[in-house]
Chains A and B, each alone.
Chain A
Amino acid sequence: MDDGNTNSTCTECDGQLRSNGTETVCEECGLVSDENAIDHGPEWRSFEDDETDRRRTGAPLTRSRHDRGLSTEIGYGSGSRLTGRKRRQLARMRREHNRARISSKVERNQVYGFTEIKRLITELSLPDSARDQACTLFKSAQSEDLLRGRSLEGFAAATVYAICRTLSMARTLSEIVAVSRADESELKAAYDALNRELGLPTGPIDPTQYLPRYASKLDLDTDIEQCAREHVETLLDNCAIGGRNPSGVAAACLYVAANDCPDCDSITQASAGDVADVNPVTIRSTVHQLEEC
């Protein structure tokens, strides 16, 4: 379409060019600077209440299904309903087809793991991209044979935890355990294995990742959250975070910010600790640290 004609500005008015389907049009003046005689789009238009769906393709491939979304299904048809022998035969075929869908133990585990990941992702309201990545991670853990002797539920939870960390949307272990079917030891065992064998690109967690969530849980305004963010920055600049639980640091900074703010209800160290799942003592020591800086 854009063969040779690589200049991206309009010849008339130097406006931005944009190509859609067949035409390259200037966004400013509407000049059609290039045209392709062949429309590569669908040869039909679809209307709201069309009776039939003329799309030829289904949903795109996805990594979050064991067959990448390329499953076949024996449907029920749209025309007249079948009767008697034919219907029973189709019902049998459907059942056998469903049984044959999963061929190996590995695949069965994968299906179970993926549904568990999906459940965790929705429970934690994480984006779909996280789900795809968690599923891919689960698959690589399987191909590295890490699952042997460890629990599936633990791995599902661990992949979600790991993906949260790599995507800088950190969740605490206890938050994951609360919604997971695995207990904490299973999750830890699985995460250790993942981290050791697959070399996850995770560094120390930035406490600011926790701020928005804790602020909304503690019912604090965005300007307090902003203020807490600055406190975290100061701590980071003074290298005063080392060895501290980032979740506790986030809660402590929110605590300080909320108490410094004149026109808002102050929160207690205990409530801040609860939200961050740390001891009030941890909060207190970080507060001291912050005062020193």
Chain B
Amino acid sequence: MATELNREKRRDISREYFSRERLAEHHYRSFNSFLNRGMQRVVDEKETIDTDIGDKEGEEPVHVELGDVRVVTPRVREADGSEELLYPQEARLRNITYSAPVFMEMSIVKGEEGDQRVVDSTETKIGRMPVMVGSDKCNIAGFSDQELIDIGEDPADPGGYFIVNGSERVLMTSEDLAPNKILAEYDTKYGDEIQVAKTFSQRRGYRALVLCERTRDGLLEVSFPSVSGSINFVTLVRALGLESDEEIVHKVSNDPEVVKYMLENLEEAEVQSEEQAIEELGKRVASGQGKNYQLKRANYVIDRYLLPHLHEDGVEEEDVRINKAHYLCRMAEACFELALDRRESDDKDHYANKRLKVSGDLMKDLFRTALNKLARDVKYQLERANMRNRQLSVNTVVRSDVLTERLEHPIATGNWVGGRSGVSQLVDRTDFMGVLSHLRRLRSPLSRSQPHFEARDLHATQWGRICPSETPEGPNCGLVKNFAQAMELSQNVEDEQGLKRELASMGVEGIPGLEGIERTTSPADD
């Protein structure tokens, strides 16, 4: 059955996989998609910068609207003021950063809602973005071998790294647990075994862990950020709009055993209606506060902190809540099935439960925090300028070094946002193979000082993806891995709405009664 390829052909395929374009391809692809879409998406998420101007009486409110963002190719500005294109080799030799100016359209808008006018609108330089060697925005993109040699570049160099202050830094691909997936597993609490369903819900850089536990007396409890302790499952589901007993049971499962467990839960229910449930939740999230505030806070917490990945642009808040209720029911079902031995606990080391964060994803995280920092600075500068009765203009309120520093510093030191360290490493130039291996290396975020035997083991699902033998000896054994030769890294879909339409056209049904909306278990943000 298996037709054996002859040796020559196999060699051709091997060679193709080891061509210059392929070796660090995952790095360029990821970084290019960050430059082409990711940056703009981060800016669009931010949308505006609000200021406190206008809080005083007789003052018109001011805010800044963010528009299109644009990156040019790397260039250097000399002390004498002349500006010219920068090539990687010059950046290495002169110990400067291989970075390109970033421009953004910004307009300062003054006035109340309905009577707004633009005070100043320009495209201004907001900072410099380190550019990956070999990416689309790199000055050597599309050069022939001879042209590369002429500017002092090695034609065989795979690229895929940054140059910051003259040193070549590669961003380590990190292997994280897949977000927005339900993982069911056993845990122990006070010496008893309990069942837990976990989801790392992630949207726009915000990550929230939602836990659904089945305690030893069979009651379901949910915990999520901003709520201390845990909340009764039935209360939360009712607060989300699933009111009747029948509905709740039906949504969890039709299995008679599970129904029995569910009925136990419903008997113990603290509340019967949506209003009562929200009140109850309000008491938990803002105890000791006024009743109105409690309700407001409860609604805010539900919409902001509970399963944020289910939010989607253009979907009603009402529908999102129902979706959240359904999602919680799936988590409950996972707990019960685990308790009934209908399923085994999920394997965290299975490669289906892993996602790789490549340079583009890491740069996106970095750009998001840098942009936030810039926005805070612009807000402060605007307020200062306004207080000193200065003309408000875009050019004078943007300090471009704010963004530049926030982008360069983490790449230079490896101290990434979110407290991770060692994310960027000096490219190993011991020999050519060293470089190749380094660019195709990936790292598990697990601590190397703990055993984590299962995480270090070779998992069957790594077949064809991860090299079974290349891993360091010593404390990092099994935590640092390397790509297999023929590994292909797939990217997240660009157009999620389109994907959903396509799925719907193929006969995938959403939750009944909610047309066109489905439970999303695919990453909402990557």
Contacts and interface: CB of A to CB of B under 8 A. Distances in A.
A83 B228 CA distance: 10
A124 B80 CA distance: 10
A124 B388 CA distance: 24
B87 to A, nearest CB: 16
B422 interface: yes
Interface in A156-208: 169, 171, 179-181
Contacts of B390: 153, 181
A212 B421 contact: no
B78 A181 contact: no
Given A48-B425, A49-B414, A118-B401, A169 B79 contact: yes
B144 interface: no
Chain A interface residue bracket vs B: 20 to 34
B161 to A, nearest CB: 14
A180 B390 CA distance: 11
A180 B425 CA distance: 38
Nearest to A210: B81
A49 B426 CA distance: 10
A169 B395 CA distance: 23
Contact of B81 (A50, A118, A180, A212): A212
Interface string B68-87: 00000000011111111000
Nearest to B399: A119
B82 A115 contact: no
B467 interface: no
Contacts of A83: 228
Question: Of A48, A49, A115, A216, which is in contact with the most chain B CB atoms at under 10 Å from its CB?
Answer: A49
A110 to B, nearest CB: 14
Interface string B224-261: 00001000000000000000000000000000000000
B423 to A, nearest CB: 9
A48 B396 CA distance: 39
A146 B81 CA distance: 30
Given A49-B414, A51-B421, A179-B395, A171 B81 contact: yes
A217 B422 CA distance: 41
A53 B248 CA distance: 52
A119 B81 contact: no
Nearest to B449: A51
B372 interface: no
B504 interface: no
Contacts of A215: 82
Contacts of B228: 83
B274 to A, nearest CB: 30
B269 interface: no
A181 B84 contact: no
Interface in B374-433: 384-385, 388, 390, 395-396, 399-401, 404, 414, 421-422, 425-426
B473 to A, nearest CB: 16
Interface in A117-175: 118-119, 122-127, 152-153, 169, 171
Nearest to A179: B395
B77 A125 contact: yes
Nearest to B396: A181
A97 interface: no
Contacts of A209: 80
Interface in B59-102: 77-84
A36 to B, nearest CB: 30
B77 A115 contact: no
Contacts of A180: 396
B401 A119 contact: yes
A112 B387 CA distance: 13
Interface string A214-246: 011100000000000000000000000000000
B82 A216 contact: yes
Contact of B84 (A119, A126, A216): A216
A31 to B, nearest CB: 28
Interface string B330-344: 000000000000000
A213 interface: yes
B82 A212 contact: yes
A169 B401 contact: no
Contacts of B395: 179
B426 A48 contact: yes
* Residue picked from B77, B396, B399, most chain A C-beta under 10 Å: B396
Given A118-B401, A122-B401, A179-B395, A213 B80 contact: yes
Contacts of A125: 77-79, 81, 83
B422 A179 contact: no
Interface in A92-113: 112
B418 to A, nearest CB: 13
A51 to B, nearest CB: 7
A49 B79 contact: no
Nearest to B76: A125
Contacts of B421: 49-51
B209 to A, nearest CB: 14
A49 B422 contact: yes
Nearest to B424: A48
Contacts of B396: 119, 179-181
Contacts of B81: 124-125, 169, 171, 212-213, 216
A180 B399 CA distance: 11
B81, B421, B426 — most chain A CB neighbours (10 Å): B81
A119 B126 CA distance: 11
A102 to B, nearest CB: 14
Contacts of A216: 81-84
Contacts of B404: 122
Pairs A-B, 6 closest by C-beta atoms: A49-B422, A213-B81, A216-B82, A125-B77, A122-B401, A212-B80
Interface of A: 48-51, 83, 112, 115, 118-119, 122-127, 152-153, 169, 171, 179-181, 209, 212-213, 215-217
7 contacts: A115-B399, A126-B79, A169-B81, A171-B81, A181-B385, A212-B78, A216-B81
Interface of B: 77-84, 228, 384-385, 388, 390, 395-396, 399-401, 404, 414, 421-422, 425-426
Given A119-B401, A179-B396, A216-B81, 13 more contacts: A48-B414, A48-B425, A49-B414, A49-B422, A49-B425, A50-B421, A50-B422, A112-B384, A122-B404, A126-B79, A180-B396, A181-B385, A213-B80
